[in-house]
Amino acid sequence: MRQFRKILLPFSCLYGSVIRLRHLLYDKGIIKTKSYDFPVICVGNLSVGGTGKTPMTEYLIHLLKNDFKVAILSRGYKRKSHGFVLADQSSTVETLGDEPMQYHNKFKDIYVAVDADRQHGIEILRDSLRPGVVVLDDAYQHRKVKAGFNILLTSYSDLYVDDLLLPAGNLRDIKSRAKYADVIVVTKCPEAMDLIQKNNLLKRIKPRKHQEVYFSKISYGGEIISSEEVQPLSYLRGRHFTLVTGIAKPDPLVNFLKSKGLQFEHLDYPDHHDFSSQQVGILRSKGIVLTTEKDYMRLKYKVDDVYYLPINNEILFGERKNFDNQVIGYMKKA
């Protein structure tokens, strides 16, 4: 598939020209960028998805929420509302989008807001709620805001340094933008990754002197969760169930479940999929449905016997403390 996409290189060159012109306008000050006198952390990537932004954002929430009042600001992809929306008790996937709704559902002691205009969203949060830190979810390419601390994510199996611009590749921004990251995190690393692999990746990434590179993996929980109950993952052994995914790269989850000896039907949908009434009807006939936490936000009120498998982000090679200290160090200086 990737070889086939290379015939689209002329269109990638055209797309790249537009992106470079846009960055030039910002760099020359023709289009204005705004920075803030309080902590703003950006989590993002250069590609179109599948780098693990949601687990990293949740990692930051856990790290910061006990000492700082955290606000998460997202664009709310595929929501049906408009403008600035602050999550409250009446919020739904339709008003927030799936990922912000996941944050709101999971963390009751933080602010969650959505606004396609990140600058506008930050200013409303600042003026009305005065959070201790704003975490921008998926905003690395948004030049209207200059974050104080930038975390760039890239997937182990699809490094940005090896990729091409859309449509020939998966990059939505030019590779040189990586130099503005304070931290680069290689996500979704294999369980058995060793120091030789780590050093080889560092050579390929070629971080700048001001940048730290960390490596992380996704770890899956040992329990599946529904609105009614929590069951051990082994509950699915010997039972017929259907795995439903609406994420960019479901292979790690599929491989994990197979490694546990589970047998299942897999229904794979596009990222942030909005399930139609016909698709929901099909899922209702499937019996037990297992899905991701993000997709669960869309399905929990529509399908009866639906569970999600929680995931966590783990920093590898004993470098978690260094990563945490770097983030906290920025918070203290900002």
Q: Is the same domain home to 235 and 192?
A: no
The Cα–Cα gap between 136 and 134 comes to: 6
Q: What does pLDDT average to over the chain?
A: 95
Structural contact between residues 47 and 154, judged by C-beta atoms closer than 8 angstroms = yes
- Regarding whether 15 and 63 lie in a shared domain, the answer is yes
247 and 305, same domain (yes or no): yes
Domain count, the chain: 2
Instruction: Find out whether 50 is annotated in a ligand binding site.
Output: yes
Q: Answer whether residue 3 shows pLDDT above 90.
A: no
Please report whether residue 83 resides in a domain: no
The per-residue pLDDT for 160 is 97
pLDDT given at position 213:
98
pLDDT over 60 at 189, yes or no: yes
**Predicted confidence (pLDDT) at residue 4 exceeds the cutoff of 90:** no
Rounded CA-CA distance 247/292 in Å is 8
Q: Is residue 9 part of a domain?
A: yes
- Domain CATH number, residue 280: 3.40.50
Mean pLDDT check: name the lowest of 48-52, 187-191, 232-236. Answer: 48-52
Torsion, Cα 153 294 292 290, to 10 degrees, reads: -170
> Which residues lie below 8 Å from residue 245, measured CB to CB, with a gap of 6+?
253, 254, 266, 267, 268, 269, 291, 292, 295
Sign of CA pseudo-dihedral 311, 80, 40, 169: positive
Q: Are residues 57 and 157 part of one domain?
A: yes
| Cα 84 to the center of its chain, rounded Å | 20
My answer on whether 148 and 188 are in the same domain is yes
pLDDT on residue 1? 56
Residue type, 106: K
> How long is the chain?
334
Q: Decide if 245 is inside a domain.
A: yes
156 and 234 assigned to the same domain: no
The verdict on residue 97 lying in a domain is: no
Query: What's this model's pTM, rounded to 2 decimal places?
Result: 0.94
**86 lies in some domain:** no
- Whether 119 maps to a domain, the answer reads no
Q: Say if residue 34 is in the same domain as residue 137.
A: yes
Render pLDDT for 108-122 as a digit per residue (tens, 0 to 9): 999 999 999 999 999
* Co-location of 159 and 34 in the same domain: yes
pLDDT at 6 over 90: no
Pair (150, 257) in one structural domain = no
Percentage of residues in the chain with pLDDT exceeding 70? 99
Q: Is residue 144 part of a domain?
A: yes
Judge whether 49 is annotated as a binding position: yes
Decide if 81 is inside a domain.
Answer: no
- Is the pLDDT assigned to residue 218 strictly greater than 70? yes
pLDDT in tens, 40-63: 999 999 999 889 999 999 999 999
Q: Domain range spanning residue 144?
A: 2-68+132-219+315-333
Q: What is the pLDDT of residues 154-173, one digit of tens each?
A: 999 999 999 999 999 999 99
Residues 168 and 301 in one domain: no
Between CA 107 and CA 73 the distance in angstroms is 14
Residue 97 has pLDDT above 70, yes or no: yes
Please check if 249 is assigned to a binding site.
no
Q: Do both 140 and 62 map to the same domain?
A: yes
Residues 166, 61 share a domain: yes
Percent of the chain with pLDDT over 90: 95
Q: How confident is the model at residue 2 (pLDDT cuts 50, 70, 90)?
A: low
Task: Tell me: is residue 161 an annotated ligand-binding position.
Answer: no
As a whole number of angstroms, the distance between CA 165 and CA 163 comes to 7
- Binding residue per annotation — 52? yes
